[in-house]
Structure 1
Amino acid sequence: MDDPASFDRFAAAYDRFVSLQPGQNTQWVIGLGLHGERALDAGCGPGHATQRLAGQFDHVVGVDLSEPMIEIARRTRSRPNLEYRTADVFTIDDHGFDLVYSHTMMHHLPDYRAGLEHLKSLVRPGGTVAVVDNVCDWTPTPPRYIYLLGAWLGFPRQLRRLGLRDAWFEFRFWHSKPWLDHLASDRYLSRAQFREVYDEVFPGAQYDDVGFALAMRWTCAGPEAR
């Protein structure tokens, strides 16, 4: 498992980094076109997706283990129908959510399958569980040079897209020791492993490949589906 405090060390920089990737944390789930009364964003970070979901649900709960991340979310992405909590996702015992959403959180958990089972327990019959998580088919933990090489190769494109100031910030973020240390602690499933474990927990799930990750959506048909 990742160090739970690792995001605390670069919360503000991470928030800016995500802000420079418009739609990466939100495009897929918003594109599902779901609406309802209650939604949960598990591992919400600084609240990018949580804020967007608040436009589609009456009440949205964003949960993250990092207090600095939650502080940023409350300060910059607050809405009347949003509630942010600093908590371990396993301690969430609210039930009956119309949507339970998680973006790139699952690989941080000490027990991947138990995390999926817990998310499943929180959705109401007729509701949806939607999960996006990183995958890598050739190694559970890509070496640091892969990220550094990607930053170098992508810099000209990002320079054209973002301009010098933001492109240089992003480039330096990819090279920062706290971020690289965090990435070195990640453990990703392969695409085949992802489908295997999700099919076991969510029979009949549907999948989308979003490049760096797989996205899964599953609708709870009723108590018997649990």
Structure 2
Amino acid sequence: MPPSADPIDPADSLDSPSSPDSPDSAALADPRSFDRFARDYDRFVTLLPGGNTSWLLGLAPGGGRALDAGCGSGHAALALADCYEEVVGVDLSPSLIALAEATRAHPRVRYLARDLFDLADSDGFDLVYSHTVLHHLDDCRAGLEHLKRLVRPGGTVALVDNVCDRYPTPPRRAYTWPAVWNFPRELCRLGPRDAWFQLRFWHSRSWLDHLLSDRYLSRAGFRALYGSVFPGARFDDLGFALAMTWTAPEPSAPGM
């Protein structure tokens, strides 16, 4: 097989708009927008081992208020509802928020279709969480500083984002070839219907266009940037991503 060839013809894709409501034309034209493939993306995330929440739940969170910044269709927000008294899920995509409200409603979860930078909350949060969202921002540092302002004293900021040491935007074969190599294993794990859907999603034009619009930090760049905003943070290497946890300092007692 030539190095530039894809193992599966991208024309064999899921590419019809699949959101529960009608995205506007600007969202459909922007490769970064999840409105272009919201329903398929929701199904794709559902099929991931751990549903994208295994690292988060390993932090043993609990109590108070939690924010899921870039909540998508609500997988992590719903999981957090088992541990927190109130969860706010915020996402820029109205289509993903509509899916979250339709499929992952919970009395302790409130979903907002809103730009992260428009979120202001004077009460603050005991947990501020974001998963593979911040690389979409034009100004990542501004996003980090905004999230820092939303955490309560003594609260936790837990952030995960994709990293790549070789290039800021991996080529399409970095996604399509592993999907083919892993297909036999996924067939055993998921069964034929879901494994075939997953393989086709990895090769769909909308998803590949989205991935090829991403720009990732290197591991060193991630640690440098995140560590400059959150001094003393802990970093965990998750393979495809780095995770950061940071505890907001408590205010000093008067006279100290």
Q: TM-score when scaled to structure 1?
A: 0.96
8 Å contact kept, 1:66–1:86 = yes
Deviation for aligned residue 1:145: 1.5
Of the three residues 160, 173, 195, the one matched with 2:188 is 160
Deviation for aligned residue 1:4: 7.6
Deviations 1:131-186 (A, max 9, x none): 00000010000001111111111111111111111000000000000000000000
Report SS of the residue matched to 2:50.
coil
Aligned ranges 1:1-226 → 2 under 5 Å: 3=30, 6-95=33-122, 96-222=124-250
Amino acid in the other structure paired with 1:221? P
Which stretches in structure 2 are left out of the alignment for 5+ residues? 1-28
Amino acid in the other structure paired with 2:227? D
Q: Runs in 1 of length 4+ with deviation above 6 angstroms?
A: none
8 Å contact kept, 2:32–2:136 = no
Deviation for aligned residue 1:222: 3.1
8 Å contact kept, 1:37–1:58 = yes
CA RMSD of aligned residues (A): 1.4
8 Å contact kept, 1:4–1:65 = no
Amino acid in the other structure paired with 2:234? Q
d(CA) in 2 for partners of 1:172 and 1:28?
A: 27
Q: Higher helix share goes to which structure?
A: 1
Deviations 1:182-201 (A, max 9, x none): 00000000000000001100
Amino acid in the other structure paired with 1:53? L
d(CA) in 1 for partners of 2:115 and 2:106?
A: 22
Q: TM-score when scaled to structure 2?
A: 0.85
Work out the percentage of aligned pairs sharing the same amino acid: 64
Q: Higher strand share goes to which structure?
A: 1
Amino acid in the other structure paired with 2:60? G
Change (3 A) 1:33 1:57: same
8 Å contact kept, 1:10–1:178 = yes
Amino acid in the other structure paired with 2:158? A
Q: Tell me which structure has the larger Cα radius of gyration.
A: 2
Which stretches in structure 1 are left out of the alignment for 5+ residues? none
Change (3 A) 1:5 1:133: closer
